[in-house]
């Protein structure tokens, strides 16, 4: 049962296409788990359609545009159907990553070339290349029973639990749960004792560890949008 | 608003060229809607089905003539696009090609034609923005992140239609300051944060205006962990 959802403002930005790509990726992966938000999305898209249909702003389209479009349809039909695209997801060799949202599986790639980088004893991070420059997208793995140093957030941080679970002062987060941390929010997550927790994380500015050891670590943490 | 003449396609044409009056443009469309939307929406859905099943060029041309000006308006309204009429026409063609190739997946029981078309136009806009900003090869297609397929689990058709007409009725009765936010986020493609900066309003005000608008359209708001941020 999913308890933590994107707020309705974030969902609306996603439905309208005004939310940036990296954050949208997180919302999209949440949809995979959450029937309720898929329903909201339908309604929010219906609003988009209604506004489009209200003809508030229309611009004349010359009839030559339709003519050339019809020409393009002719050209398309005279060509043989392109072979259907190979669907590559689903063949992930790492069984630990089975059952993930297709968009994440595709991002990880078939060769599963995740490069896990050990940041602390219990936290590993693997960068994901998403072809945008606004935010850093990565998978975070907290080892079973492991704790992450207390940290705050200089920019917005979106987190989606993919596997396992983790907790912080405010609650327990299970697969599909979506968290948005604002700049200045401080928390100290720890994974459930019995299994690793894997999260999709989008950081719009780097996380800063607080406390003495955290301050020592900070120089190693840089934002790598990709 | 844009570098091209956009025409107010409302019955009441006294609206001037400012954002406020553009927004009140929602209202006059109502009389028109009361007369023919129910039937009209249905016929556009049928056209889409005809395009999908029978490759019906006549239906396609009809669909194009009706919706192309709206889609062009949608592209020209977008922030920072500053595009020429020719470029906007290109994007209109791109959307309509998607309509042609994807119409066979359209299910009139699940979405109104205009809603389905909106997702096509939105994704085309996102595609274009991503093309402009990407720095190297990209793993994910726009459709991987913004699916255009409708929810598979069956929603009773009657219930779906009732909700659609509820939203359509509510949207014309929204107060102007709420319509304005809906308009900026959907048509201009801006975030709440940008809207707040432009309107010189606190972010919380902008967020709550949208929430009020959604509540009037009877969209149930899911409680989330970060509800508090709406007060900031």
Q: What is the ipTM of this complex?
A: 0.84
**Cβ-based contacts of B70 with chain A (< 8 Å):** 52-53, 55, 58
Separation in Å, CA of B37 to nearest CA in chain A: 10
User: Any residues with CB less than 8 A from the CB of B156 and at least 6 apart, and which?
Assistant: none
Residue in B29, B73, B112 nearest the CB of A59? B73
Q: How far is A225 from chain B (nearest CA, A)?
A: 11
Distance CA B198, CA A140 (A): 36
pLDDT digits (tens, 9 = 90+) for B164-210: 778 878 888 899 999 999 999 999 999 999 999 999 999 999 999 99
Of A18, A45, A61, the CB nearest to B185: A18
For residue B115, what are its two tokens? 């809603």
Name which of B86, B219, B223 to mutate to probe chain A: the one with the most chain A Cβ atoms within 10 A of its Cβ: B219
Best probe of the A interface among B226, B227, B229, B232, by most A CBs < 10 A, is B226
d(CA B131, CA A140): 28
Contact B219 A72 (CB under 8 A): no
Examine the pLDDT at B71 and tell me if it is beyond 50: yes
Residues on chain B touching A28 (C-beta within 8 angstroms) = 144-147
The partner residue sitting opposite B68, judged by closest CB among A25, A65, A132, is A65
Distances (CA, A) of A185 to A12, A23, A154, B15, B71: 23, 18, 9, 45, 41
The beta-carbon neighbor of A57 closest among B6, B219, B225 is B6
pLDDT tens per residue across span A163-208:
999 998 889 999 999 999 887 777 788 888 888 999 999 988 655 5
Our CA-based measurement puts residue B192 at a distance from the nearest CA of chain A, in whole angstroms, of 8
Polymer length of chain A: 226
pLDDT given at position B3: 44
- Which of A5, A20, A57 to probe the B interface (max B CBs under 10 A)? A57
pLDDT tens-digit readout, A15-61: 999 999 999 999 999 999 998 899 889 889 989 998 888 767 788 99
For chain B, percent of residues with pLDDT exceeding 70: 66
**pLDDT band at residue A160, thresholds of 50, 70 and 90?**
very high
B123 neighbourhood in chain A, CB within 8 Å = 17
Residues of B in contact with A167 (CB under 8 A): none
Give residue B33's pLDDT. Answer: 41
pTM, 2 dp: 0.82
The C-alpha of B104 sits at a distance from chain A's nearest C-alpha, in angstroms, of 15
What's the pLDDT at A111?
A: 63
For residues A168 and A151, give the distance between their C-alpha atoms in angstroms, rounded to a whole number: 12
Handedness of CA B101, B107, B110, B115 (dihedral sign): positive
Rounded mean pLDDT, B117-143: 84
- B155 pLDDT more than 60: no
Q: In this predicted model, which residue has the larger pLDDT, B5 or B106?
A: B106
A129 contacts on B by Cβ (under 8 Å): 139
Q: What is the mean pLDDT of residues B57-79?
A: 93
Nearest C-alpha neighbor of A11 from the set A208, A26, A97: A26
Structure confidence at residue A95 as a pLDDT band (50, 70, 90): low
Beta bridge partners of B65: none
Q: Measured between beta carbons, which residues in chain A are less than 8 angstroms from residue B118? A: 45, 48-49, 51-52
**Contact (CB<8Å) A65/B10:** no
The sign of the torsion formed by the CA atoms of A97, A99, A104, A105 equals positive
Using the beta-carbon criterion (under 8 Å), do A180 and B122 form an inter-chain contact? no
- Check B57 against A70: CB less than 8 A apart: yes
User: What is the Cα–Cα distance from A66 to B209, expressed in whole angstroms?
Assistant: 39
Residue range A80-96: mean pLDDT, rounded: 57
Phi, psi (rounded to 5 degrees) for A138? -155, 165
User: Which of A153, A158, A162, A64 is CA-nearest to residue A104?
Assistant: A162
Q: Which of B101, B187, B211, B189 is nearest to B148 (CA)?
A: B101
Picking from A4, A7, A172 by the largest number of B CB atoms within 10 A of its own CB, the best residue to mutate is A7
Question: d(Cα A28, Cα A53) in Å, to the nearest integer?
Answer: 26
- pLDDT score for A90: 45
Closest Cβ–Cβ partner in A7, A49, A65 for B224: A7
CB contact under 8 A, A57 and B73: yes
CA distance A55 to chain B (A): 6
Q: Which of A71-75, A109-113, B149-153 has the lowest mean pLDDT?
A: B149-153
Nearest to B9 among A43, A55, A132 (CB): A55
Cα B141 to Cα B123: distance, rounded to the nearest angstrom: 10
Residue B182: half-sphere exposure toward Cβ, Cα within 13 Å: 33
pLDDT recorded at residue A148? 81
Pairing of β A136-142 and β A186-187: unpaired
pLDDT per residue as tens digits for the range B190-202: 999 999 999 999 9
């Amino acid at each position: 049962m999913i308890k933590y959802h994107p707020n309705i403002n974030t969902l609306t930005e996603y439905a309208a296409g005004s939310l940036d790509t990296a954050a949208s990726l997180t919302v999209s992966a949440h949809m995979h788990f959450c029937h309720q938000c898929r329903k909201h999305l339908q309604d929010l898209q219906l609003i988009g359609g209604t506004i489009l249909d209200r003809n508030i702003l229309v611009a004349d389209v010359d009839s030559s545009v339709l003519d050339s479009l019809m020409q393009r349809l002719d050209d398309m039909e005279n060509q043989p159907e392109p072979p259907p695209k190979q669907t590559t997801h689903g063949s992930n060799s790492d069984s630990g990553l089975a059952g993930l949202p297709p968009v994440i599986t595709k991002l990880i790639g078939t060769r599963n070339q995740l490069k896990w980088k050990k940041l602390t004893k219990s936290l590993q991070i693997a960068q994901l290349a998403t072809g945008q420059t606004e935010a850093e997208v990565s998978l975070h793995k907290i080892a079973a029973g492991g704790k992450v140093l207390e940290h705050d957030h200089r920019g917005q941080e979106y987190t989606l639990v993919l596997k396992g679970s983790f907790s912080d002062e405010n609650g327990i987060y299970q697969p599909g749960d979506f968290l948005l941390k604002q700049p200045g929010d401080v928390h100290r997550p720890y994974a459930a004792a019995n299994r690793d927790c894997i999260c999709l994380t989008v950081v719009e500015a780097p996380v800063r560890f607080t406390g003495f050891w955290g301050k020592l670590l900070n120089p190693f943490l840089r934002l790598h949008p990709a | 608003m844009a570098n091209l003449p956009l025409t107010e396609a409302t019955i009441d044409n006294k609206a001037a060229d400012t954002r406020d009056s553009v927004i009140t443009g929602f209202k006059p469309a109502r009389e028109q809607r009361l007369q023919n939307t129910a039937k009209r929406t249905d016929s556009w859905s049928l056209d889409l089905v005809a395009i999908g099943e029978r490759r019906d060029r006549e239906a396609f041309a009809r669909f194009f003539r009706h919706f192309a000006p709206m889609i062009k308006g949608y592209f020209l309204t977008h922030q920072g696009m500053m595009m020429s009429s020719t470029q906007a026409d290109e994007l209109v063609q791109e959307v309509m090609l998607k309509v042609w190739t994807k119409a066979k997946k359209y299910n009139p029981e699940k979405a109104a034609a205009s809603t389905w078309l909106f997702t096509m136009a939105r994704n085309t806009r996102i595609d274009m923005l991503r093309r402009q900003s990407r720095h190297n090869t990209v793993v994910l297609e726009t459709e991987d992140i913004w699916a255009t397929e409708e929810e598979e689990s069956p929603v009773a058709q009657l219930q779906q239609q009732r909700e659609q007409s509820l939203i359509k009725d509510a949207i014309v009765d929204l107060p102007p300051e709420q319509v304005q936010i809906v308009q900026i986020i959907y048509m201009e493609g801006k975030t709440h944060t940008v809207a707040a900066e432009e309107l010189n309003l606190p972010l919380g005000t902008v967020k709550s205006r949208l929430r009020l608008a959604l509540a009037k359209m009877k969209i149930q708001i899911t409680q989330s962990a970060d509800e508090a941020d709406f007060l900031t």
